[in-house]
Chains A and B, each alone.
Chain A
Amino acid sequence: MSSVQTSHQAVDVQGLWKIFNEGSNNEVTALSDINLSIKPGEFISLIGPSGCGKSTLLRVIGDLTDATRGEVFIAGETAHIAREKQLYGIAFQQAALFDWRTVRRNVELPLELQGLGKKERRERALELLELVQLSDFAEHRPWELSGGMQQRVAIARSLAVDPPLLLMDEPFGALDEMTRERMQNELLRICQETGKTIIFVTHSIPEAVYLSDRVVVMSPRPGRITHTVPIELGERNEDTRETDTFYAGVTAVREALRGRSTSASPSRIEEF
């Protein structure tokens, strides 16, 4: 394996394995030989059926669980160091807001843990709430907000320490379709304004295609990457979801999920 610093990829996953209960009779191989490089500013979706290990992969990258074998680098640092240096922010399917804190103080939480002064973190939190268009709700309690608004707070919180990388685990999974599409546009706008690298776990094919530069297709038992589908939709706007390129992307991902690649795809599909 080459040295750590050769590639300054945003994320570099090399020969990664995750095996639960290794050696016992209920051993499960959740991830098998995952290799994935992500360029700075790239938007990557991880898609696949339940049990394909996409959430586990996200958690290994975030050093929330250990890899059994293989290595993960974020901006050239190991995942562990990257977590200690707060090189990524994370958002989950559940907003995971603290009911006992106001919206603003939820966003302040990561800054508080970094020991930032009261005034600075307040300013930063208000700035972020403006970014997610929730300035009016800063002093509300999380449970007074709708699901979509709670998720926007969670995204603001994940951006609080201004990390280069965002990890998102089905953040829009619990939202209705209309809210979901609005949130996707919001997320793309935020990405454009901040230039973040994003790893986005989802179940939804149209969501993956609409958001991503590359869709990484995974399959279960054992969890592995089977295809990578590049998406070239250019600048997204209201009509993007109705273009032929979009439909072609959806078809390509669907075919990849079924285990075959199709010539109908305008995109180049890398098979593994």
Chain B
Amino acid sequence: MREPVSGKQRGATRTRVQRGVISILWALAGVALVVFMWEAVKFVGSFIDLPLNTSDTSMPHVWTMVDAFSNPVVRGSDTTVLQAVVSATLTSLKIALGGFAIGVTFGIILAVIMQRFAFFERGLLPFVIASQTVPLIALAPLIVGLGNRISLGPIEWTTTYSVMFIAAYLAFFPLSVGALRGLQAPSATSLELMRSYAARPNQMLWKLRFPSSVPYLVPALKVSAAAAVVGTVVAEISTGVKGGVGRLLIEYARETTSQPAKVYVAVFGAIALGLAAAALVSALDLYLTRNLPKESQA
């Protein structure tokens, strides 16, 4: 009955993919604007004293950054900076995804336990929620310190596992809250319907609670993936664990006097790491929500 008020709903007829492509084009325009402002600040800084250092050593030209991609990592080396950063970023991505997977698994398990047993919801949920408001990341240097000092039978505990543990730990909390909210999402009517079928608790879980938790799970997955990425990079930074992009950031930051553009390549690596994780979760989102009604653009 209620027809569109005006022509502003044009976008609604576009598919999700089309809208995504348009967003990416706009984002690229936004990046172009940032590049322009960067160079503009440098230009203005060459005439007027700004409260920041606009010299080429602290703010290299954008083209110098691009050039730095193909520079050798150290003089005479065959590996370029780009190759080093790509491989470090992939290492970090693997650690982050591993931590994400572990965190998600345990998060869902905890959510199911809290949903089934009221005592655990009452007793644990306040801590799970509070944990999202406190800087758990502060524990990173202490947990990474465990590396090489404990052994778990056949598995040798390396610092890589410590980093993954932190990523998992940070991914775990937001996910368990979202998953619990999702498991509790079914309406009273749906629950009564299932009860009228004499559904057993397991059937209730698989046929009703998990499917209806998807709209809550997807945003939680996004937050968790971001937490896993940030956790990985910060754990690498705070402890100097080798191999990942966090360590490269610290290393390259020390070389700014000789190669000022190098650290920017590492920063781009960290950005790419976040974008890659976000893209993977978006793919997961498309898969999980494939059977749901397409949300109407508000």
In-complex A–B contact (CB below 8 Å): yes
Residues of A participating in the B interface, judged by any CB pair closer than 8 Å: 20, 26, 28, 30, 50-56, 59, 64-65
* CB-based contact A28/B5 at 8 Å: no
18 residue pairs bridging A and B, Cβ less than 8 Å apart: A20-B3, A20-B4, A26-B13, A28-B3, A30-B3, A50-B1, A51-B1, A52-B1, A53-B3, A54-B1, A55-B1, A55-B2, A55-B3, A56-B3, A59-B5, A64-B5, A65-B5, A65-B6
Complex CA gap A260/B14 in Å reads 42
Query: B3 — which chain A residues lie within 8 A by C-beta?
Result: 20, 28, 30, 53, 55-56
Query: A20 — which chain B residues lie within 8 A by C-beta?
Result: 3-4
Total number of A-B contacts with CB less than 8 angstroms?
18
Query: A55 — which chain B residues lie within 8 A by C-beta?
Result: 1-3
Query: A54 — which chain B residues lie within 8 A by C-beta?
Result: 1
Complex CA gap A59/B3 in Å reads 10
**Main secondary structure on B side of the interface with A:** loop
CB within 8 Å of A: which of B2-19? 2-6, 13
Using CB atoms, name the residue of chain A closest to B10: A21
In which size bucket is the chain B interface?
under 10
Query: A30 — which chain B residues lie within 8 A by C-beta?
Result: 3
Extra contacts, 7 of them, besides A20-B3, A50-B1, A52-B1 (Cβ < 8 A), are: A28-B3, A51-B1, A53-B3, A55-B1, A55-B2, A59-B5, A65-B5
Complex CA gap A68/B239 in Å reads 68
Residues of B participating in the A interface, judged by any CB pair closer than 8 Å: 1-6, 13
Q: Across chains A and B, which 8 residue pairs bring their CB atoms closest together, nearest first?
A: A50-B1, A56-B3, A30-B3, A55-B1, A65-B5, A20-B3, A55-B2, A51-B1
Query: A26 — which chain B residues lie within 8 A by C-beta?
Result: 13
Using CB atoms, name the residue of chain B closest to A201: B1
Query: B2 — which chain A residues lie within 8 A by C-beta?
Result: 55
| Interface core residue of B1, B6, B13 (most chain A CB under 10 Å) | B1
B8 to chain A, nearest CB (A): 11
Query: B6 — which chain A residues lie within 8 A by C-beta?
Result: 65
Complex CA gap A55/B4 in Å reads 11
A54 to chain B, nearest CB (A): 8
Complex CA gap A232/B2 in Å reads 31
Complex CA gap A26/B13 in Å reads 10
Complex CA gap A50/B4 in Å reads 14
Complex CA gap A50/B2 in Å reads 9
Using CB atoms, name the residue of chain B closest to A56: B3
Complex CA gap A205/B280 in Å reads 54
Query: A56 — which chain B residues lie within 8 A by C-beta?
Result: 3
Query: A65 — which chain B residues lie within 8 A by C-beta?
Result: 5-6
Complex CA gap A28/B5 in Å reads 13
B199 to chain A, nearest CB (A): 33
Complex CA gap A59/B5 in Å reads 9
A123 to chain B, nearest CB (A): 34
Using CB atoms, name the residue of chain B closest to A30: B3
Complex CA gap A30/B3 in Å reads 8
